[in-house]
Amino acid sequence: MFDKIKKEIINSIDSLLRYAVVITGNEEDAKDLVQETCYKALKSINSLDENSNVKAWLFTIMRNLWINQRKRNQISPVYLEETIENVGDEWNINPEELLINNEMRQLLLKALNDLPEAYKEILILRYFEDFSYNEISKILDCPLGTVMSRLNRAREKLKEVFLKIYEKNNDDRS
């Protein structure tokens, strides 16, 4: 079982690195965090059984490590309950274009990177790593309802930020 879990840890490295870059904001911190996560996971491998969700477990370890690191560095928490302009109904961007237009996709990536950390984090967990709401609630240690509402706000915020970047980009051109 030990070798099987080791293999799953190795297979999760890319996902962990992607998530680590998002939550730390830079490559070096991301590497340190992933390395520490893997080491901690290997040391506590005995706490797992065969049916454990290793990937979700790794993400939980990494997030907790990051939270503790932030506490040590006295980085103040990010407050999320901000007002979000509801852009859903006035979203005049053709999403199909987002998919095929490389330039627009780069703007969307910029918008994603500009999002508050908690929104960025939940979008990554859901759409990059395909975690279910239940798994996300365990990783983030928050109720299922919070996952649903935060994810909803994160999508809306992404649209809002993207729209601003897109419009500014168009203004700069003209």
Partner 1 sequence: MIDHKTIKIWINLYLDGELAGEELELFKQHIKECRECAQILKQQRDFVDSIRSLKDEIKIDFGDFKTELIKQIEEFKPKSSKALKYAVFAIVVVILTISALSALYFYSNRTDFVKIAIENHMRQIRGQLPLEIETSSEGEISNWFDGKLRFNFRLPRYPDPSNQPYRIKGARLVALNNDYAALVSYEMDGRPMTLLVAPSKSASPYGKRKVNFKDIDFYLDTKDGFNILSWTDKGLTYALVFDFENFDWKKPCIVCHSSGAK
**Residue of 18, 40, 70, 164 that binds partner 1 (CB under 8 A):** 18
Q: Which of 78, 82, 63, 93 is nearest to 153 (CA)?
A: 82
Separation between Cα atoms, residue 167 and residue 91, nearest integer Å: 12
Is-contact 151 162, C-beta < 8 A? no
- The dihedral region occupied by 36, where left means phi > 0, alpha psi between -120 and 50, and beta the remainder, is alpha
Q: What is the DSSP letter of 83?
A: -
38 contributes a contact to partner 1 by CB under 8 A: yes
- The 141-160 contact track toward partner 1, x by CB under 8 A, reads -------x--xx--x--xx-
Task: Specify the residue, 74 or 89, whose C-beta has the smaller distance to partner 1.
Answer: 89
Task: Specify the residue, 108 or 140, whose C-beta has the smaller distance to partner 1.
Answer: 108
Residues within the interface to partner 1 (CB under 8 A): 2, 6, 9-10, 13-14, 17-18, 21, 27, 31, 34-35, 38-39, 42-43, 45-46, 88, 91, 95-96, 98-99, 105-106, 108-109, 112, 123, 126-128, 132-133, 148, 151-152, 155, 158-159
